[in-house]
Structure 1
Amino acid sequence: MTKRIATATTLPQATRRNFLKQAAATAALLAAARKLLPSGAYAATATPEVTAAKLGFIALTDAAALIIAKEKGLFEKHGMPDVEVLKQASWGATRDNLVLGGEANGIDGAHILTPMPYLMHTGKVTQNNQPLPMSIVARLNYDCQAISVAQEYAETGVGLDSSKLKEVFARKKAEGKEVKAAMTFPGGTHDLWIRYWLAAGGIDPDKDVSTIVVPPPQMVANMKVGNMDVFCVGEPWNEQLVNQGIGFTAATTGELWKGHPEKALGLRAEFIEKNPNAVKAILMAVMEAQQWCDAMENKEEMAGIIGKRQWMNVPTADIIGRLKGDINYGNGHTVTGTDLYMKFWKDGASYPFKSHDAWFLAENIRWGKFAPDTDIKALVDQVNREDLWREAAKELGVAAADIPASPSRGVETFFDGKIFDPENPSAYLDSLSIKASS
């Protein structure tokens, strides 16, 4: 006798109604899950070799993807329940803990300034110049850093054009005083942004000012006591500075280069070699977190989460404005609803374009961190593992439209009209009048 399997069409009417209600409820649940985590349900993948990894972060808004992946259980969802997201005191501490490695009480990877893996990989910033093989496996964000200026310079009217500081800085130096420009790590993104901004206005960052290193969370306190004249750092510290009335924002970095790459997810190459499936799991968790962070309806919740004591220990009011593109520059200029907010996923923000890494290397050649004959393409190919990002994205079910067709975003244009063609970095360097060699 043939056994009939009950279906929606063969069930008794009352049971059928229950079946349809349950189906509708399930569909609603899946829809809600998709809204929370846009990539949708996790497809089974190869089991991670380990369940743990130690990832460092600095108290900056652009570490949000790692924090949210931890807080929302996304590492656990992808088979990595024991991932630790560990606060680092400075970028120097991040470097030192990466050199140690997770197995020696250091870290396996980190939220990191994009140029740092290159500087470490080549031994430029490590003890005894010992190279530490590093890889970039994802970008974490675009935009939303800023250049802040002490309140004493408000009357100069300085903004995107730094030349308004040239004369006042020269006068201060003539009086025997030091002009200090603070950034967060030599050769890092903030160092390069403030150098670019100063040089575009005719101020030589190697001759006309003294560059100093200050960890991001200490910027505001140091400007309050007069330890620097200008600084460049990520959020929320520029917004906090304005909220405390200590200084003002001259320019956001998105105004220097709209849609610029900023932080990366860097991993020790050894960790990748030993744990390829774990790396893929980490990437998928971070990608889902980036999509969640990018949704405007999640910004308030996100600011509340990352502002917690164990993460950034910062009030939501110091985080939320610039997350949404609402900027109080602190000099009487206020804008709302701009597109200068931090991007975590939109427009390829998660994908590590090789062309972007090429610009960072070119700028570090400009300022003497790398030799002029550095083979930029070869070095980028060693460190940039965009192939791992692509594998993880496909396994996660990321839409084809969200996976860049090329590792190059092409020619980039900066606020001062300079052009960077990743196929011809030398032409870009030749076009710059102020550089280390000058």
Structure 2
Amino acid sequence: MTTEFKTPQSKTSPIAGLHRRDVLRVGAGAAATLLAARTLAPSGVFAQGAGPETTKATLGYIALTDSAPLIVAKEKGFFAKHGMTDVTVTKQASWGTTRDNLVLGSEGNGIDGAHILSPMPYLISAGKVTQQNIPLPMYILARLNYDAQGISVGMAYKDLKPTVDATPLKQIFLKMKAEGKQAKVAMTFPGGTHDLWIRYWLAAAGIDPDKDVETIVVPPPQMVANMKVGTMDAFCVGEPWPGQLVSQGIGFTACNTSEIWQNHPEKSFAMRAAYVDKNPNAAKALLMAVQEAQMFCEDMANKEELAAIVGTRAYFNVPVKDIVGRLKGHYDYGDGRIVENSPGVMKFWRDHASYPFQSHDTWFLTEDIRWGKFAPDTDVKAMVAKVNREDIWKDAAKALGVKEADIPTSTSRGVEKFFDGKTFDPANPAAYLDSLEIKRVA
């Protein structure tokens, strides 16, 4: 069951005063970078050279905490600082809406780029999820964050105590299946990150996500309301919705997705390839603004302000208290577990969170092969080389004044380790697939 929404592309009003502040509270690591960037004012890297080809761009976002860099870049004036004075950041009702508006492009009253699930630019570029399977070339320009998605479970299962280990749910889910009333688990887009996390979590416990439960699609902002009325038994989505679920006493967090894979890649900043190819300077300026915003979002001193910015009616329309706790690393799981200074806190910049490692996209594509979204003979290496534009990220970072030590020298982060003992070597994806018991590929 796929839920699609069509919403008007309304302009988002700036939050009065926020983007006119000249003083940014930044941590020591980011301060040096921003000091270098300030020397480029008034219009960033283009003050002394050729400016952007256009000052316009329309960017989409979903009401999720990891969209914050795009919102902050708008509200703190970073887009304007880098010469992009007419950027609209507009809310999308679902990932299906994001896809449809990317296909339209801003010239068709759609969008030029977006905060997006990292596998989606590949699914869109390959025409796997577009109308009539028509490919729309996309580029990933940056990763927006690591970690901090949540797998949530309804209160009816609290006594079973499922955590990152979903095994306690296996027998009851199989019993429900035998009785003809399969448990429903929700994610936000087929083949997207939330789909992959909840599938990995279930499969690691011996629960087949395609056969033992019913997997449904629900837009992120509707997750809490749907669990409240009993539409689903478990779901995976990003903050602030898992935290809000706990604050309302409707369900609990079984695990932070960082417990599945520590420092895992999550959302990306992606744009239509046509926009980037036509306006390379503008795309670079947008990226620099997003990178600067990520530094702002990373600083613990800015978390209260960040939560206040995104929580407004214009953006999330969510109480700050439902956002700021987990943003600072305070995790009340809702089942008695409370973790302070969680290592699974959302990371926007540190640990190379912004750099789009090609090895990570290789994992996303390998998982989508695992679950039948791509054919087993897909040329993953070629696809990643075409969609992942880490070269543009590096150019933007250097222009922004990011230290060489903070710019990765390899497009691979190397072998990745998962909670269940599995490992993924990006140089040998086939070995990883062979090690998995539940999959749709031989």
TM-score, normalised with respect to structure 2: 0.91
Alignment partner for residue 398 of structure 1, among 398, 402, 421? 402
Deviation at 1:385, TM superposition (A): 0.3
Q: Which amino acid aligns with 1:123?
A: G
CA distance in 2, matches of 1:89, 1:114: 18
Query: What residue number does 2:201 align with?
Result: 197
Deviation at 1:375, TM superposition (A): 1.1
Deviation at 1:42, TM superposition (A): 4.7
Alpha-carbon distance change, 66 to 431 in structure 1, aligned in 2, over 3 angstroms: same
CA distance in 2, matches of 1:145, 1:376: 26
Deviation at 1:39, TM superposition (A): 2.0
Do residues 105 (structure 1) and 113 (structure 2) align? no
CA distance in 1, matches of 2:262, 2:312: 30
Please list every run of 5 or more consecutive structure 1 residues that lacks an aligned counterpart in the other structure.
1-28
Alignment partner for residue 233 of structure 1, among 237, 252, 258? 237
Alpha-carbon distance change, 280 to 304 in structure 1, aligned in 2, over 3 angstroms: same
Equivalent residues in 2 for 1:238-257, closer than 5 Å: 238-257=242-261
Query: What residue number does 1:143 align with?
Result: 147
CA distance in 2, matches of 1:307, 1:345: 21
Query: What residue number does 1:79 align with?
Result: 83
Deviation at 1:176, TM superposition (A): 2.1
Deviation at 1:93, TM superposition (A): 0.1
Q: How big is the alpha-carbon RMSD for the aligned residues of Structure 1 and Structure 2? A: 1.4
Equivalent residues in 2 for 1:316-327, closer than 5 Å: 316-327=320-331
CA distance in 1, matches of 2:309, 2:260: 29
Alignment partner for residue 385 of structure 1, among 369, 380, 389? 389
Measured against aligned partners, the alpha-carbon deviations of 1:181-211 in whole angstroms (never above 9, x if no partner) come to: 1000000000000000000000000100011
Deviation at 1:437, TM superposition (A): 3.4
Query: What residue number does 1:39 align with?
Result: 34
1:141 touches 1:261 (CA, 8 Å); kept in 2? yes
Query: What residue number does 2:135 align with?
Result: 131
Query: What residue number does 1:330 align with?
Result: 334
Alpha-carbon distance change, 401 to 131 in structure 1, aligned in 2, over 3 angstroms: same
Q: Which amino acid aligns with 1:72?
A: K
Measured against aligned partners, the alpha-carbon deviations of 1:202-254 in whole angstroms (never above 9, x if no partner) come to: 00001000110000000000000000010000000000000000000000001
Deviation at 1:31, TM superposition (A): 9.5
CA distance in 2, matches of 1:31, 1:380: 36
Alpha-carbon distance change, 30 to 333 in structure 1, aligned in 2, over 3 angstroms: closer
Q: Which amino acid aligns with 1:71?
A: E
Identical columns (%):
66
2:147 touches 2:344 (CA, 8 Å); kept in 1? yes
CA distance in 1, matches of 2:197, 2:424: 15
Deviation at 1:406, TM superposition (A): 0.6
CA distance in 2, matches of 1:215, 1:184: 5
1:42 touches 1:396 (CA, 8 Å); kept in 2? no
CA distance in 2, matches of 1:413, 1:73: 39
CA distance in 2, matches of 1:325, 1:88: 27
Equivalent residues in 2 for 1:19-418, closer than 5 Å: 38-40=33-35, 41-43=38-40, 44-45=45-46, 46-418=50-422
1:216 touches 1:237 (CA, 8 Å); kept in 2? yes
Please list every run of 5 or more consecutive structure 2 residues that lacks an aligned counterpart in the other structure.
1-21
Q: Which amino acid aligns with 2:237?
A: V
Which shifted more, 336-345 or 58-67? 336-345
TM-score, normalised with respect to structure 1: 0.92
1:197 match: secondary structure: helix
2:59 match: secondary structure: strand
1:233 match: secondary structure: strand
CA distance in 2, matches of 1:339, 1:171: 35
Q: Which amino acid aligns with 2:125?
A: H
Query: Whose Rg is larger?
Result: 1
Q: Which amino acid aligns with 2:101?
A: N
CA distance in 1, matches of 2:241, 2:347: 18
Measured against aligned partners, the alpha-carbon deviations of 1:279-332 in whole angstroms (never above 9, x if no partner) come to: 010011000000000001110110111101111100011101111111000011
CA distance in 1, matches of 2:404, 2:54: 29
CA distance in 1, matches of 2:193, 2:371: 13
Alpha-carbon distance change, 375 to 334 in structure 1, aligned in 2, over 3 angstroms: same
CA distance in 2, matches of 1:201, 1:368: 20
1:119 match: secondary structure: helix
CA distance in 1, matches of 2:62, 2:174: 34
CA distance in 1, matches of 2:24, 2:383: 43
Q: Which amino acid aligns with 1:347?
A: D
Equivalent residues in 2 for 1:7-26, closer than 5 Å: none
